[in-house]
Amino acid sequence: MERPDLKKLADDLKEQSKPIITEALINGANHISNGMNNAVGDVNQSPKVLLRSISTTLRNGVMLVGQEILANSTDIIKKDRKSSTPAKTPEEEIMNMRELEEEA
């Protein structure tokens, strides 16, 4: 593959992954925000307990983001496989792009 083809493929992948990552980050941030509110809810807790709650909340939020990205990506792959047209390999996509460029 030539460098422009790889760049085009990378740009396409970037555009397709933006909604998946954005949704997961928003949900993860909401989860972390709710967890932080719960962690600081008790003003009489020791700093050690507070820091443990905060670190657990952050860890769980990051794990949630990763799980959502994987789940959403898996759903998209499953939908793509169930579609009537078979998924093309990257090489087939590049050949198709070249044919379209030649026609233009």
Nearest one of 26, 27, 8 to 16, comparing CA atoms: 8
Instruction: Check: CB of residue 59 under 8 Å from CB of residue 52.
Output: no
Residue found by looking up tokens 């078979």 in the block? 86
Top pLDDT among 49 and 92 is at 49
pLDDT beyond 90 at 99: no
pLDDT in tens, 30-60: 989 998 898 888 778 888 988 999 999 999 9
Residue 61 CA to residue 7 CA, distance in Å, equals 32
Residue 10 CA to residue 15 CA, distance in Å, equals 9
Mean per-residue pLDDT, 64-87: 77
